[in-house]
Amino acid sequence: MSLVRLISRSSLALALVAASGLASCKSDSSTTEAPPPLQTGPAGPKIGFPGGAQRLTKPQYQAAIADIFGPDVVVPPALEPDVAVEGFESVGATGAAVSARGVEQYEAAAQAIAKQITSEPRLFSRVSTCQPRTPDDVACARALVAPLGEKVFRRPLTEAEVTKLVGVVTSAAITGGSFEKGALYGISALLQSPFFLYRPVVGERDPEDPTKLRFTAYELATRLSFFLWNTIPDDALLEAAKTGKLDTHEGVEAQVTRMLASPKARNGLRNFVREWLRLGELDLLQKDTKIFTTYTSDLGAIAREETLKGFEDLVFERDADIRGVMTTRRAFVTPKLASMYQVPAPSATGFAPVELPEKSGRRGLLGQIAFLSLYAHPTSTSATLRGKFVREKLLCTPIPPPPVDVNTALPEPTEKEKTLRERVKIHFAAPTCAACHTAMDPIGLGLEQFDGIGRFRTKENGATIDPSGELDGVAFTDAASLGQAIHDSPAFPACITRKMFLYATGSLPTADLVPTTDALNERFVASGYRMKVLMATVATSRAFRVYVAH
């Protein structure tokens, strides 16, 4: 019997978990189901968490593999795609199913990773230090799967799970003729388990309120680590769960303080910003090079990194008022970005900070190429896309989609209508368009001094651009004063709080969460709008640890 046939195409790991009576990703012709809703046990009533378990997103999967096996292990890029809900993949991952194709992709990825680990002694020594006396050495198999399984599952394995995995390793070792061949299938089985691919929720009664269910200590450890670090818990966090330190507010607070002081917290912030501002879409950035001659295929990635470095600087280097992201003249540029911003490059290679000139008109996020190029068309700017971004991402004002039968195209420039401001008047004239476009277009027109790739200009088709406008009763004269108006708006920090809570919890926004986010925002405002305080406040809140029964 060949090793390939030893494990069925539907995945040994899934069959292994199903056989043990645990939650599984059961494959059918169309989808793979997430673990079933949690319950408190045979003696108590069923109590469900909203949304159910969260599937690991692609970045989380990649980060987890790096933390478990080392950063030099290559993760195959073909995985089940993430789907954004409320603008966040982390929210879309709640209760997300896996397609039949996705099961095959996870299986192929697990086997490819396991093959790397077991075929390279340097890598294998990271997970197995036991010297097997025979290919099917039970003691070495147990020494492999128990500690490795704890990292992969983010909790200790049960004795039944260890026994089954040891059986997988020893059976495959006999067939393959070596301990490494057996380990290959044991590692592959762990990586295909729903206990790795998902963040399962079982829960336990909240001792402070029997009508509520709180996360178990290991579930909370996982929840904290993916929120603050976007990866799996480290040994210290798992030990805190094991010893009961996460059962108290003081214990959680101590771990959150430690975690925010770790370099890994930068990864957590970066992923939040990437999802919030949709910066991942810069990988697909395309511009017409006949119009935008300075565009190159690497511009999207460079521009994204500038934005992320700016957030890192405000939050971790300076621990400053996060609203400054709208008004700062400090930018992190490469020689290419410096050229596009028309400033001297501070470094011949890589990123370096620079202070943009006072008279440049370019300030903060709204002056960055990441935003300006992403929220524009391949051949032109878009007042609508840019205004919609400000409304929905920065001020949390939802804009409904246009009617399906409405033509959204704008007329071409003419001698009488050279600028976009003149041509978008058609949006305000149509009754079906006016309400939404009145909320979006005047904001986007304030950014018209930046073209579709983010270069500064004062004229369009030979006509002078008017970048003035009004934001919720506050007049602005250009992009810089628009950024100041957003900075000063109470809706901006309140929106950041709401976005952070959704991202952290994976919860859909509901009316009953408004008091919670309002209370979190009060703490955020009182802290001087410091992002680390907001992250800590969310992570230590009861809303992060407990759900109301229904």
Q: Is the pLDDT of residue 30 over 90?
A: no
In terms of phi and psi (left: phi > 0; alpha: psi -120 to 50; beta: otherwise), the region of 356 is beta
Residues 108-120: pLDDT tens digits? Answer: 999 999 999 999 9
Measured between its terminal Cα atoms, the distance across the chain in Å is: 51
Domain boundaries, the chain: 3-199, 271-488
* pLDDT category of residue 406 using cuts at 50, 70 and 90: low
Q: Is the pLDDT of residue 22 over 80?
A: no
According to DSSP, the residues that pair with 213 across neighbouring strands are 205, 547
Q: Is the pLDDT of residue 80 over 50?
A: yes
What local confidence, expressed as pLDDT, does residue 10 receive?
A: 36
Mean pLDDT of 461-475: 95
* pLDDT category of residue 423 using cuts at 50, 70 and 90: confident
At residue 154, what are phi and psi to the nearest 5 degrees?
65, 30
Integer Cα distance of 550 and 534 in angstroms: 28
Maximum separation of any 2 CA atoms in the chain, in Å: 87
Residues 350-377: pLDDT tens digits? Answer: 999 999 998 888 999 999 999 999 999 9
Q: In three state form, how does the secondary structure of 491-509 look? A: HHHHHHHHHHHHHHHCCCC
pTM: 0.89
Residues 257-279: pLDDT tens digits? Answer: 999 999 999 999 999 999 999 99
Q: Is the pLDDT of residue 416 over 60?
A: yes
Q: Is the pLDDT of residue 11 over 60?
A: no
Integer Cα distance of 515 and 506 in angstroms: 17
What local confidence, expressed as pLDDT, does residue 405 receive?
A: 67
Considering the chain, what is the average pLDDT of its residues? 88
What local confidence, expressed as pLDDT, does residue 52 receive?
A: 66
What local confidence, expressed as pLDDT, does residue 435 receive?
A: 74
Mean pLDDT of 388-403: 92
What local confidence, expressed as pLDDT, does residue 305 receive?
A: 98
| Closest residue by Cα to residue 496 from 458, 455, 456, 538 | 538
Percentage of residues of the chain with pLDDT beyond 70: 88
Give burial (CB, 10 Å; 0-12/13-18/19+) of 367.
buried
Q: Is the pLDDT of residue 38 over 60?
A: no
What local confidence, expressed as pLDDT, does residue 25 receive?
A: 35
What local confidence, expressed as pLDDT, does residue 407 receive?
A: 64
- CB-based contact 453:287 (threshold 8 Å): yes
Integer Cα distance of 35 and 268 in angstroms: 26
Residues 301-330: pLDDT tens digits? Answer: 999 999 999 999 999 999 999 999 999 999
